[in-house]
């Protein structure tokens, strides 16, 4: 935010912070906790798009295509003790649209081997009659 934000901007920023927190927390399965992937549908508009940007080109998912393999990995023992969290962010709010640039960290066990990593996300938000929602997200691992 710019430093000249209004009360409405401050409230919007708090709502956007909560949406991002819910998104990141949805994948956590530490301490035997089941992931809460239903939260992804709660924070996105139904037509939401999630894009993984790889060196060979972007992979574009709708919510179903994004969630299905993650549900499997997070519940079948492939990916355990997993969590990811935002380490830095910059959010810009323009009326009923907003954009957020995020850095994130992540850690867990994949096939029993501990890993740590991180990357960058860019997220677009729209204000709906129900409140702010994510409309699109793109990410790249570092």
All structural domains of the chain, each given as residue ranges with its CATH number in brackets, are 7-141 (3.10.450.50)
> How does residue 6 score in pLDDT terms, banded at 50, 70 and 90?
confident
Alpha-carbon distance of 106 to 49, in angstroms, equals 21
Alpha-carbon distance of 51 to 44, in angstroms, equals 14
**Which pLDDT tens digit goes with each residue over 69-98?**
999 999 999 999 999 999 999 999 999 999
| pLDDT score at 61 | 98
**Which pLDDT tens digit goes with each residue over 7-30?**
888 999 999 999 999 999 999 999
| pLDDT score at 14 | 97
- pTM metric for this prediction: 0.92
Alpha-carbon distance of 101 to 120, in angstroms, equals 7
Q: Which residues pair with 110 in a beta bridge?
A: 79, 113
Alpha-carbon distance of 138 to 142, in angstroms, equals 13
Q: What is the DSSP string of 79-104?
A: EEEEEEEEEEEEEEEETTEEEEEEEE
């Amino acid at each position: 935010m710019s430093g000249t934000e209004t009360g409405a901007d401050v409230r919007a920023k708090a709502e956007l912070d909560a949406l991002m927190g819910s998104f990141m927390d949805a994948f956590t399965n530490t301490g035997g906790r089941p992931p809460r992937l239903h939260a992804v549908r709660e924070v996105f508009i139904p037509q939401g798009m999630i894009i993984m940007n790889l060196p060979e080109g972007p992979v574009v998912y709708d919510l179903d295509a994004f969630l299905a393999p993650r549900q499997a990995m997070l519940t079948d023992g492939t990916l355990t003790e997993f969590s990811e969290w935002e380490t830095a962010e910059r959010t810009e709010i323009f009326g009923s649209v907003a954009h957020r640039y995020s850095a994130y960290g992540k850690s867990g066990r994949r096939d029993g081997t501990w890993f740590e990593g991180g990357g960058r996300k860019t997220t677009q938000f729209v204000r709906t009659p129900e409140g702010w929602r994510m409309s699109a997200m793109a990410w790249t691992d570092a």
